[in-house]
Amino acid sequence: MLAEMEKAGSGCIVIFKRMLPHSVKEVWAALTENDKLVKWFSNLQVKDLRKNGTVLFNMNDGSEKTIEMRILDFEKESILEFEWGEGSVRFELTSQSDGCLLVLKDIFPAINDHTAKDIAGWHICMDVFQSLLNGALKKFSMDEWQNVYEQYIKQVDRIK
């Protein structure tokens, strides 16, 4: 299922929703514990988990270069929002009777040629994240990415 998109000024907010048959505690651990985080998004590393703390983006290209991203909002086992390029990425967890509702918001202050690529990347990462929680870790598939990327190009073009 593709993410929802809302126009926001000259940018947009992309909303992914995943109902996960796991506890908030399990989902939070997969989002914030580096030994789990590396399995679904190998570039990310939590350095200081608190508001105004830091998440690192490792280039993973042999250069050892990292980008520090500030944590903008934080509530343990509920909200994690950090800088992402010119915008931010926000995870919201809500306990449900049958598990946890995960809402990921990718917030873009402006739409550009990279927007659909970023959205497609998060889409595939959420698939990998869900598989990790379900105990059958799948790999990031460039074929799947290409498929959803083409769909997101159309979605982004509609809201420009």
Count of the separate structural domains present in the chain: 1
Burial of 101 (C-beta count, 10 Å sphere; 0-12/13-18/19+):
middle
**What is the domain-level CATH number for residue 127?**
3.30.530.20
Residue 47's domain comprises 4-159
Per-residue pLDDT tens digits of the chain, which is 160 residues long: 899 999 999 999 999 999 999 999 999 999 999 999 999 999 999 999 999 999 999 988 888 899 999 999 999 999 999 999 999 999 999 999 999 999 999 999 999 999 999 999 999 999 999 999 999 889 999 999 999 999 999 999 999 8
∠ CA 150-156-160, rounded to 5°: 145
